[in-house]
């Protein structure tokens, strides 16, 4: 019983933090330009994919549901978009530092 309550609280915190990150990311994307804009759009896409993956994990009931595949697919998309965003930021910082 206690374990189930802790799991529900943990899921709620994860979803709330993800929604907060989405709101903050939209605020950043709205204000920045050029290469930083691209990086934050990738980060925003990653956060949205993460949120969808977590939310999909809450709603599937049986192993035959399509949501069984949606949650892992969204998490894969999260990882790829996050990696692309980090690569964009790294390249931008290297250009600022004068590296090739």
Is residue 73 within 8 Å of residue 27, measured between CB atoms?
Answer: no
pLDDT in tens, the chain (100 residues): 667 788 888 889 999 999 999 998 888 887 877 777 888 899 999 999 999 988 887 776 666 667 778 888 899 999 999 999 999 989 988 888 887 6
Say how far apart CA 66 and CA 90 lie, in whole Å: 36
Residue with tokens 């977590």: 54
Residue with tokens 């019983």: 1
Say how far apart CA 83 and CA 75 lie, in whole Å: 12
Q: Report pTM.
A: 0.80
């Amino acid at each position: 019983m206690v374990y189930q309550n802790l799991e529900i609280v943990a899921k709620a915190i994860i979803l709330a933090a993800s929604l907060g990150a989405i709101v903050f990311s939209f605020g950043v994307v709205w204000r920045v330009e050029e290469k930083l804009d691209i990086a934050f759009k990738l980060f925003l896409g990653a956060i949205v994919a993460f949120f969808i993956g977590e939310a999909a994990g809450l709603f599937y009931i049986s192993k035959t549901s399509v949501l069984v595949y949606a949650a892992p697919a969204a998490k894969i998309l999260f990882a790829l978009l996050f990696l692309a965003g980090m690569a964009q930021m790294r390249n931008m910082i290297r250009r600022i530092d004068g590296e090739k």
